[in-house]
Amino acid sequence: MYSGQQPIFILKEGTERTSGRSAQSNNIAAAKAVADSVRSTLGPKGMDKMLVDSMGDVVITNDGATILKEMDIEHPAAKMIIEIAKTQEQHCYDGTTSAVVIAGELLKRSEDLVEQNVHPTVICEGFRLASDKASELIETHSIAVNQDMLEEVAKTALTGKSAGAVKEFLADISVRAVLSVAQENADGEIVVDLDDIKVQKKQGGSIKDSSLVDGIILDKERVHSGMPRSVTDAKVALINSAIEVKKTEVDAKIQITDPSMLSQFLDEEEQYLKSLVEKIQASGASVVICQKGIDDMAQHYMAKAGLFAIRRAKKSDMEALSKATGGRIVTNIDDLSSDDLGSASKVEERKIGESDMVFVTGCSDAKSVSVLLRGGTEHVVDEVRRAFDDSVGVVAVAHEDGVVLTGGGSVVAAISRDLRSYAEGIGGREQMAIEAFSGALEVIPRTLAENAGLDPVDTIIDLRKAHSEGKSHFGVNVYDGGVADMSEAQVFEPSRVVEQAIQSASETAVMILRIDDVISSRAGSPMPDGGEFDGMGMM
């Protein structure tokens, strides 16, 4: 330093900065730690995780997105890996663990290339070429779907989860639910809105007590014990206003100077409520579902009139009821007419577990259905719900796209083999990146083998041999060891799941690789000195 020259500080005190190779290895280590934390949950023989939050609430699951969401992760690069799981969950409903594991493996292999002095931008370019080629290859391996395959897709999604023991039962419910709400749009494409499948959880009983209802289940009960418990050939009025005496918008006082005036005032209120109930009756309604409150006096008159009424229904339930029964939601009772009523063959209150629930069933043109999920304990029901969401999601995706792929790591092994051949024609250092990408994809069959207690090296060798003989549907047989034809074993998954997993994993790996400087303004940012990461240190 020349005499008299002062050091210049451009970052405020407490700011941590890591740059160059150190920043890259830090970010890669963090991403690998996240991938390793969920890796043991992959596949039919994957294990579960128990997550306990700061409030002591327990979640037991092997759903990758749920695990990563519940983990309190601090490192910015690790958070980017969690975004992969979120995106996968939103678009495909399944394959979250696969996507994260592939991303971790891509970064691990890219670190080896960086150490061989291959520039990160060259690796990124190679990864982009490989992921584009992988998308093309997925199309060549796709199989047209039929209804029997949809059930197998659901079973594949349920295998390895707590609900796997009753996968045939839940898969059947998933397929029937999706086919009930599937519609064709103006372009002739099949569209499935999963919001039309309402799911209610109730602990008590076993998972096999779960059921699909061609209508709506409401976690409500009748407002008055004098009302009938069951109504057949019901005409349903959906009302979005309170069946109560209206309150004035401004503060108002009523001065009563005579006892007879008080009696007259109360009679007027009573008469008004009675007139509301008479208007509902006059429309021909036998069941009233109200989104707001129902006055005690109105409840009395409804019970006398033999009406079945529910109050304070959720807005989402009201919309689902409108779709299921064909009724219109009415805001003003004066406008209620017979044309606004929906129809259901039966509306009844049933005791489920400790509480009463209302079942609106037998809706002829139902565009909305409900599923009641049961289980022995709260944790079981929650995990069944997560498994069912995955199952119904993949069935919807497969039904919309009309194509599936064989599972068991067979497709990624086939793509890996094809990418090796593709790399030979590329040349340059990008070839090394494409070969690394190809090798990274084999992490899926290798992890499936590891989690099943098989020898991963022998399994990969057997798999490569089978694929070299043109057996492109062969994947890992986690039950008997070795490899087997996945199309014969009926193991299928939607092509969108595999494509999205590979695309989002490669895009995130590219983004992390391009970072060569981490500037953190928080004191004590995660391990700026290049220390080692592990899964436990990040939770």
| Nearest residue to 413 (alpha-carbon basis) of 440, 436, 434 | 440
d(CA 538, CA 165): 33
Closest CA to 84 of 62, 51, 111, 106: 106
Tell me whether residue 41 is one of the annotated catalytic residues: no
CB 145 within 8 A of CB 404: yes
Please give the biggest Cα pair distance in the chain.
102
192-220 b/e (C-beta count within 10 Å ≥ 16 → b): bebebbbbbbbbeeebeebebbbbbbbbb
CA 474 vs CA 293, 407, 491: distances in Å: 60, 9, 11
Kind plus residue range of the DSSP H or E element containing 26: helix 21-39
Indicate the SS3 state at residue 309. strand
Distance CA 350, CA 326 (A): 23
DSSP letter for each residue of 62-96: --HHHHHHHS----HHHHHHHHHHHHHHHHHSS-H
Confirm whether 257 is a catalytic residue: no
Q: Counting beta carbons within 10 angstroms of the beta carbon of residue 270, is it exposed (0 to 12), middle (13 to 18) or buried (19 or more)?
A: middle
d(CA 93, CA 87): 9
Cα 181 versus chain centre, distance: 18
Catalytic status, residue 97: yes
Which of 97, 159, 447, 508 is the catalytic position?
A: 97
**Please, what is the Cα angle at 184 between 180 and 187, to 5 degrees?**
170
**DSSP labels, 358-375:** EEEE--TT-S-EEEEEEE
Instruction: Please give the C-alpha separations between residue 231 and each of 188, 223, 308, 343, in angstroms, as whole numbers.
Output: 38, 15, 7, 11
Query: Around Cβ 258, how many Cβ atoms within 10 Å?
Result: 8
Long-range contacts of 44-49 (CB under 8 A, 24+ apart): 44/159, 44/160, 44/164, 44/448, 44/452, 44/478, 44/479, 45/160, 45/448, 45/451, 45/452, 45/453, 45/478, 46/97, 46/160, 46/451, 47/451, 48/162
* Active-site residue, from 18, 41, 96, 156: 96
Per the annotation, the verdict on 390 as an active-site residue is yes
Q: Is 252:332 a contact under the CB 8 Å cutoff?
A: no
492-494 and 517-520 strand pairing: unpaired
**Cα R_g (the chain), whole angstroms:** 30
Catalytic residue, candidates 18, 61, 63, 325: 63
Active-site annotation holder among 390, 418, 447, 459: 390
Active site residues: 63, 96-97, 390
